[in-house]
Chain A
Amino acid sequence: EVQVLESGGGLVQPGGSLRLSCAASGFTFTSYAMTWVRRPPGKGLEWVSAVSGNGRTTYYADSVKGRFTVSRDNSHNTLFLQMNNLRAEDTAVYYCAKVLTWRGAIDYWGQGTLVTVSS
């Protein structure tokens, strides 16, 4: 059974940093791209970032480019999102998800972890 489980969310002040982790199981981790998607309170889904299976190719939404860094540890089946210089508008539930086909559908999602940026 495919499972993805996020952790690392919490309350952080504007300008602060946070690192999200996502533990994956039930599939060959290195064979699939992984992605982060967020849902701000009262708003819809917003794609954040993605990384290819071998970790060499990364993509970012313009809203987080230069502040967020996605990476993966294929030896431990874990995905990361390093978030720096956080802003109030980054407040959201962050979902880790498996990408079915590169630039295609996102087929398995986690339950999400809440990030709140507030002073």
Chain B
Amino acid sequence: GAVVSQHPSRVICKSGTSVKIECRSLDFQATTMFWYRQFPKQSLMLMATSNEGSKATYEQGVEKDKFLINHASLTLSTLTVTSAHPEDSSFYICSARVQDRGSYEQYFGPGTRLTVT
């Protein structure tokens, strides 16, 4: 299967600072990547869909100025949490789509645990 990596795996930052999370597709090109957050014992919540070379599409209720997404290349998307606050502490997971001749698969990265103190 396709491999998606994320960096860092864990980050602790102080309230008011910004944090950048990188998501890379290692063995394929991803025109579309997705960013999710997950709270303990809950399912995945889609935050935004990012398409290479264009602006991200944010889900309702997600602040686009707070969660900046950049998808500058076919193998890299970044999520920047700006002016982080404790309520932004969560597990952030990226995902990349592989679509080929009618088949569709979506692979996830290992996740980034963000703790804001």
Q: Judge: A and B partners, yes or no.
A: no
Using CB atoms and an 8 Å cutoff, list the residues of chain A in contact with chain B: none
